[in-house]
Amino acid sequence: MMWRKWIKTVLVSLTVLYALATALLYASMRQTLDTFGAIMAHVPMITMKILPFQPLWMSARAGHLVAGDRAPDFDLPLIDHSATLKLSSEYRQGPVVLVFGSYT
């Protein structure tokens, strides 16, 4: 009978540790990418296989925009760095299409 209590204690402890590790990973994913990178530099790679990394990442980095929302305003330097492009100024000239990805 004693071994059943021991097994139950071990299983509960492992469950609590798993939940805590998952919560800490999610909290670190919500930080800036630099902070997250610094944290992950100290985390063993096996963690990626044990914890639900991809669903946590997709949730933590999803943002709050939905289809049809206006993109947040941002500034980008031109390729030749001669000037800066501001998204809000482009809206005044007409519709704006943002393309992310490759043309190949």
Within 18-101, strands assigned E span 75-77, 84-86
Residue ranges covered by each domain of the chain: 2-60
Identify the segments of the chain with pLDDT beneath 50: none
pLDDT of residue 96: 85
Distance CA 18, CA 62 (A): 23
What spatial distance separates the first Cα and last Cα of the chain, rounded to whole Å? 66
The per-residue pLDDT for 83 is 93
Q: Is the pTM of this model over 0.85?
A: no
CB 60 within 8 A of CB 26: yes
Residue 104: per-residue pLDDT = 67
